[in-house]
């Protein structure tokens, strides 16, 4: 007679935890305590920036009461952690910046509220690049839990490497089994790229699908919340809870009802047309990444999908377009941080203008200052038409390129990033090196399309490689179905670094 060893709680995904909680195999309090202990054990990774055991256990006890009463939500008792770009009442909300050090919000972000309404229990807040500006999570100005000073987040597959950004703490928490699920935000690839670098699954929904209310703004026409977890099945459960209209509080929220993204996960993908953009497989793509992506595409062919060559001719233009539009919006959004109403204020100043200058000089990090200056420049008199307006015109052309491609295919596939995660400090003081790493994620972001990263294998140094899937507007269910079918045929998403 064979016996199977029961999985440790941290080895269970969202769906498994939800099922175990409903079956009374363990309690929400036990699950919360287990993950809190694990977060404290692995503080060296720098993933968490705030924990509040009292608040977490109070939420877990309330979840247990609902489970006992038979009034449980879809995610009742499942632990989750939030990127520190979402405001929360029970935890500080800093956006990884000295400018908001110690800020305690009087309300929760809509995404946080929706997940709580579904029964999720908040473990804490996760490290991120300052104001979500970065591709490596080396730009955080907040000390992680267990640290006395700001420190970069470390990739659990190799702690000498970056985890990706800006949702690096989120990706590390899932990969290292410090949380079964997390929230992230994606402005130019900040869910997909760290998910790829850390070997987990992450999805950015169609722009406007999830409310931006309570999400500290970077670039308002690009920022979008999304879930990160181990599998497409788990992401589908989370996304179903996160999405839905919020017109009273978010003017960018779409009037599209919430959807059960789990319903079509097991549908056949026989005959699915997968577009392969020539521009995603050029000279800059590392051979190890290409090999992993090609391997995943072969799996799709075995499952009955058809690979279709397509073109996205303005892919290279996405970098200059993004790095004009995003800084322009950032310079506007970050003007509210002036030391008057909330956040950091300089101690010594002579008048109001001097207070503004010193507060912003002290409170913002180098990358944030760089983007504010670029944004202010491209919006200034004499340069608006030459830069910002032209960038918006090309943005529309990039979106049109995708629509032309979708005439010939159902989804688009390719790499998430040109390389695996690089070494901490490797790009040094060269921000352009980080910017260039976003070449494959930026086009979909500029077009507002849903996109996701799915574990596809391993490259140089045994580091994870993600496959990017991009769908047409509101095609999240199709993406999740394609990802789920791949994960049923492979085990990359099940592998753990710890």
Please identify every residue annotated as catalytic. 83, 166, 190
CA distances from 210 to 127, 317, 342, 361 (A): 21, 27, 26, 33
What the block records as the tokens of 117 is 């309404």
Q: Which residues contact 400 (CB under 8 A, 6 or more apart)?
A: none
Distance CA 94, CA 451 (A): 27
Residue 188: count other Cβ atoms within 10 Å of its Cβ.
28
What is the signed CA dihedral for 186, 187, 189, 193, rounded to 10 degrees?
A: -50
CA gap 14, 254 in Å, rounded: 27
- Three-state SS string across the chain, please? CCCCCCCCHHHCCHHHHHHHHHCCCCCHHHHHHHHHHHHHHCHHHCCEEEECHHHHHHHHHHHHHHHHHCCCCCCCCCEEEEECCECCCCCCCCCCCHHHCCCCCCCCCHHHHHHHHCCCEEEEEECCCHHHCCCCCCCCCCCCCCCCCCCCCCECCECCECCCCCCHHHHHHHHCCCCCEEEEEECCCCCHHHHHHHCCEEEECCCCCCCCCCECCCCCCCCEEEEEECCHHHHHHHHHHHCCCCCCCCCCCCCCCCCCCCCCCCCCCCCCEEEEEHHHHCCCCCHHHHHHHHHHHHHHHHCCCEEEEECCCCHHHHHHHHHHHHHHHHHHHHHHCCCCCCCCCCCCCCCHHHHHHHHHHHHCCHHHHHHHHHHHHHHCCCCHHHHHHHHHHHHHHHHHHHHHHCCCCCEEEEECCCCCCCECCCCCCCHHHHHHCCCCCHHHHHHCCCEEEEEEEECHHHCEEEEEEEECCCCHHHHHHHHHHHHHHCCHHHCCCC
């Amino acid at each position: 007679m064979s016996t199977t060893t029961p999985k440790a709680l941290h080895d269970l995904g969202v769906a498994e935890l939800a099922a175990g909680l409903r079956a009374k195999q363990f309690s929400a309090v036990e699950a919360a305590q287990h993950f809190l202990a694990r977060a404290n054990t692995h503080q060296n990774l720098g993933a968490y920036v705030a924990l509040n055991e009292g608040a977490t256990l109070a939420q877990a006890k309330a979840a247990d009461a609902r489970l006992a009463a038979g009034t449980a939500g879809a995610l009742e008792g499942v632990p989750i952690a939030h990127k520190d770009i979402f405001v929360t009442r029970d935890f500080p909300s800093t956006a990884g910046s000295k400018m908001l050090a110690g800020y305690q919000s009087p309300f929760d972000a809509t995404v946080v509220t929706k997940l709580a309404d579904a029964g999720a229990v908040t473990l804490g807040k996760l490290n991120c690049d300052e104001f979500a500006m970065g591709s490596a999570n080396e730009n955080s100005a907040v000390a992680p839990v267990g640290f006395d000073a700001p420190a970069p987040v470390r990739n659990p597959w190799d702690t000498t490497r970056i985890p990706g950004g800006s949702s690096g703490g989120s990706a590390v928490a899932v990969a290292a089994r410090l949380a079964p699920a997390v929230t992230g935000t994606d402005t130019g690839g900040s869910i997909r790229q760290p998910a790829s670098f850390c070997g987990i699954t992450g999805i950015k929904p169609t722009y406007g699908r999830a409310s931006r209310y309570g999400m500290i703004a970077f670039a308002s026409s690009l920022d979008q919340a999304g879930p990160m977890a181990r599998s497409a099945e788990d992401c589908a459960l989370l996304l179903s809870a996160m999405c839905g209209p919020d017109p009273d509080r978010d003017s960018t929220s779409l009037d599209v009802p919430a959807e059960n993204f789990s319903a079509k996960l097991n549908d056949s993908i026989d005959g699915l047309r997968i577009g392969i953009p020539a521009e995603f497989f050029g000279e800059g793509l590392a051979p190890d990444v290409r090999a992993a992506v090609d391997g995943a595409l072969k799996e799709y062919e075995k499952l009955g999908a058809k690979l279709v060559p397509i073109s996205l001719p303005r892919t290279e233009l996405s970098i200059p377009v993004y790095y004009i539009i995003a800084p322009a919006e950032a310079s506007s959004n970050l003007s509210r941080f002036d030391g008057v109403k909330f956040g950091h204020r300089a101690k010594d100043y002579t008048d109001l203008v001097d207070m503004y200058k010193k507060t912003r000089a002290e409170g913002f990090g180098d990358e944030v200052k760089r983007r504010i200056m670029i944004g202010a420049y491209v919006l200034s008199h004499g340069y608006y038409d030459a830069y910002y307006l032209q960038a918006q015109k090309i943005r529309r052309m990039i979106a049109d390129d995708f629509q032309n491609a979708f005439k010939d295919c159902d989804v688009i596939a390719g790499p998430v990033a040109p390389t695996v995660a690089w070494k901490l400090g490797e790009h040094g003081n060269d921000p352009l090196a980080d910017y260039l790493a976003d070449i494959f994620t930026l086009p979909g972001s500029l077009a507002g399309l849903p996109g996701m990263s799915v574990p596809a294998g391993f490259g140089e140094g045994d580091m994870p490689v993600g496959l990017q899937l991009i769908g047409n507007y509101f095609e999240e269910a199709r993406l999740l179905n394609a990802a789920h079918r791949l994960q049923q045929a492979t085990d990359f998403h099940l592998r753990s670094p710890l």
